[in-house]
A and B are shown apart, each in its own frame.
Chain A
């Protein structure tokens, strides 16, 4: 691969299903070794975009480059990328070992090499000793690991992960997020993760592309998207937000707002009453009704029983000037 060429380049790619554009003129670059998240609500086109990279869909317009080579018309079985399916799509009639070795076998790799690589992959996903089992004999988390091992066995430069954690329960999900990152760091493979879960995208990805109705809304590192959302949609989709309507609408993150006790002078726009609160462990969420009628969500860290307010408490709301995020639309 030539230096300076992005691992994947989508050049004004459009995909229509009938009348509907599932993906509309999307251009983006994915660099080698990064974790790139495609984030958006269901139906936004993120899965279609990933399938365009894998080759399961053909774009109606635009080109798909992988490693600098135009792969738009190359069928999926000849593309140097691998995918981990949302349903895992493990072959039910093959053992775990056979599943993991399938890709190498298709390449015509010698048997000894396949055996060795399968063992290595089983170690990587911590499933040593389960190689002889059938997929039906595995737990959900184990299936997920087999799917990962199978997709990584050919050592692709790019791995596509379709909602990789959707089928796991909450506890397992967080653990698996970090395990996936660990595997990614070890192998240096670029990951493209499709997800509808903004938290998952933020935890895993070095860059996030937020999609809406087939178009890219914003691309950037999670912290940047969080701090400077390009649109109201992005602001509302990523994290918790307060929208302050006015001549120019602005958005404020709940944790940037500070609360102070007291304030007996009614009429000040930034005085309010605690409407409700939710104790969330590490922090507390307050719903504060301002004198203007607007309700703000305010998050304060839980620092013991000092500084906690109760329902009906009068509070003064302070928003630092730099906490306002201007919204264009």
Chain B
């Protein structure tokens, strides 16, 4: 290796080391804490779980505490239908919302990618403009839109489309609407990036060979934007499964989403070990789709090479 490339590889290493260091500190360390709590037992103390480890302990005490650790909390919630139901319901709601976000975002992304460079910059700016306002406030605003005496019902009744309020607020439908709205930019941007990079001559070639615009879209544009579809869907689906604010504000009292159930266990039931175990199971469940994405990307790169 020549000195120049050696220096470059050291620089590259540094570039990689910074974000990984960040992740180590702010992701792995809290994760270790959560893992620790999940192996403990609930206790009437402050914090409300049996201590796992103490620097001041002697060896015997450490061994004793380690022996007290158990996977009881993990076993516990598989028997607890509330947790299982929350997981299933979260995944279903997030999946529906992700699919809807994709359907809504795709035409937007297509329009942005096909517009002139000047207009494109403005449209992308508009797409990310909502980020300038607090997420919490934006979700709050949807309450005033969706509630029975809210803007939507008022408008629809005014123009005579409906006679009585739709009753969307405080239902899973409201949660799906909230997720689609909140996460739209996360779907839009990867889709835009995937469509914008496509060679327009490919569509002309498809048309030249007899494909109608719709067929050309299905056979060329859509498959070539698959990376964007997968990336955008994961960016929406993963946080949506664990979403807490949207179900709490827009959902009803009967809404089951894992984020909410976790919150209840932490703050209402004060069962920290159970809640921690649930959080870890959630993480493991969500690693699955990430690995799928990673594999698709690897395969893609192999084809391109």
> CB of A82 within 8 A of chain B?
yes
Residues of A within 8 A of B220 (CB): 91
| Stretch with Cβ within 8 A of A (4 or more), from B112-120, B165-173, B203-211, B241-249 | B203-211
Are A77 and B201 in contact (CB-based, < 8 A)?
no
**Chain B residues in the interface with A (C-beta under 8 A):** 199, 201-202, 204-213, 215-216, 219-220, 223-224, 303-305
Select which of A76, A78, A87, A107 is within 8 A of B201 by beta carbon: A87
Are A89 and B204 in contact (CB-based, < 8 A)?
yes
A-B contact pairs, 27 of them (CB 8 A): A54-B208, A56-B204, A76-B204, A76-B208, A77-B208, A77-B209, A77-B212, A77-B213, A77-B216, A81-B208, A82-B209, A83-B208, A89-B201, A89-B202, A89-B204, A89-B205, A92-B224, A93-B223, A93-B224, A102-B209, A102-B211, A102-B219, A103-B209, A103-B210, A106-B209, A136-B303, A154-B209
Residues of B within 8 A of A83 (CB): 204-205, 208
A54–B207 CA distance with the chains assembled, in angstroms: 10
What 1/0 flags go to A3-27 for Cβ under 8 Å of B? Answer: 0000000000000000000000000
Select which of A89, A92, A154 is within 8 A of B210 by beta carbon: A154
Are A150 and B209 in contact (CB-based, < 8 A)?
yes
Residues of A within 8 A of B304 (CB): 92, 136
What 1/0 flags go to A64-107 for Cβ under 8 Å of B? Answer: 00000000000111100111010101111100000000110011
Are B205 and A77 in contact (CB-based, < 8 A)?
no
Nearest-neighbour CB distance to chain B for A71, whole angstroms, equals 14
**Count of residues in A whose CB is under 8 Å from the partner chain:** 26
Instruction: With CB as the reference atom, state the residue of chain B lying closest to A81.
Output: B208
Are A91 and B202 in contact (CB-based, < 8 A)?
yes
Residues of A within 8 A of B216 (CB): 77
What 1/0 flags go to A273-307 for Cβ under 8 Å of B? Answer: 00000000000000000000000000000000000
Instruction: With CB as the reference atom, state the residue of chain B lying closest to A147.
Output: B205
Residues of B within 8 A of A103 (CB): 209-210
Other than A76-B204, A77-B213, give 5 A-B pairs with Cβ distance below 8 A: A75-B207, A76-B207, A83-B208, A103-B210, A106-B215
> CB of A155 within 8 A of chain B?
no
> CB of A232 within 8 A of chain B?
no
Residues of B within 8 A of A154 (CB): 209-210
A54–B206 CA distance with the chains assembled, in angstroms: 12
Nearest-neighbour CB distance to chain A for B196, whole angstroms, equals 16
Nearest-neighbour CB distance to chain B for A130, whole angstroms, equals 16
Instruction: With CB as the reference atom, state the residue of chain B lying closest to A160.
Output: B208
Residues of A within 8 A of B219 (CB): 91, 102
Known: A85-B201, A85-B205, A89-B202. Is A106-B210 also a contact (CB below 8 A)? Answer: yes
Nearest-neighbour CB distance to chain B for A85, whole angstroms, equals 5
Residues of A within 8 A of B208 (CB): 54, 76-77, 81-83, 151
Nearest-neighbour CB distance to chain B for A227, whole angstroms, equals 37
Residues of B within 8 A of A87 (CB): 199, 201
Known: A93-B223, A136-B303, A136-B304. Is A77-B210 also a contact (CB below 8 A)? Answer: yes
Select which of B211, B224, B303, B305 is within 8 A of A77 by beta carbon: B211
A254–B43 CA distance with the chains assembled, in angstroms: 104
A82–B305 CA distance with the chains assembled, in angstroms: 30
Instruction: With CB as the reference atom, state the residue of chain B lying closest to A85.
Output: B201
Nearest-neighbour CB distance to chain A for B261, whole angstroms, equals 42
Instruction: With CB as the reference atom, state the residue of chain A lying closest to B204.
Output: A56
Q: Which of A56, A87, A102, A134 has the most CB of B within 10 A?
A: A102
Instruction: With CB as the reference atom, state the residue of chain B lying closest to A75.
Output: B207
Report the 5 A-B pairs with minimum CB-CB distance, sorted nearest first: A103-B209, A106-B210, A89-B205, A89-B201, A76-B207
Nearest-neighbour CB distance to chain A for B109, whole angstroms, equals 18
A89–B211 CA distance with the chains assembled, in angstroms: 15
A170–B208 CA distance with the chains assembled, in angstroms: 29
Residues of A within 8 A of B215 (CB): 106
A56–B202 CA distance with the chains assembled, in angstroms: 13
A305–B213 CA distance with the chains assembled, in angstroms: 65
Select which of B201, B204, B206, B305 is within 8 A of A102 by beta carbon: B206
Nearest-neighbour CB distance to chain B for A109, whole angstroms, equals 10
A51–B220 CA distance with the chains assembled, in angstroms: 21
A116–B303 CA distance with the chains assembled, in angstroms: 26
Residues of A within 8 A of B202 (CB): 89, 91
Residues of B within 8 A of A75 (CB): 207
Nearest-neighbour CB distance to chain B for A202, whole angstroms, equals 27
A203–B304 CA distance with the chains assembled, in angstroms: 36
A178–B201 CA distance with the chains assembled, in angstroms: 26
A81–B223 CA distance with the chains assembled, in angstroms: 26
A65–B87 CA distance with the chains assembled, in angstroms: 64
A54–B208 CA distance with the chains assembled, in angstroms: 7
Residues of B within 8 A of A93 (CB): 223-224
Residues of B within 8 A of A76 (CB): 204, 207-208
Select which of B204, B206, B303 is within 8 A of A134 by beta carbon: B303
Nearest-neighbour CB distance to chain A for B197, whole angstroms, equals 11
Nearest-neighbour CB distance to chain B for A137, whole angstroms, equals 9
What 1/0 flags go to A163-197 for Cβ under 8 Å of B? Answer: 00000000000000000000000000000000000
Q: Which of B207, B209, B210 has the most CB of A within 10 A?
A: B209
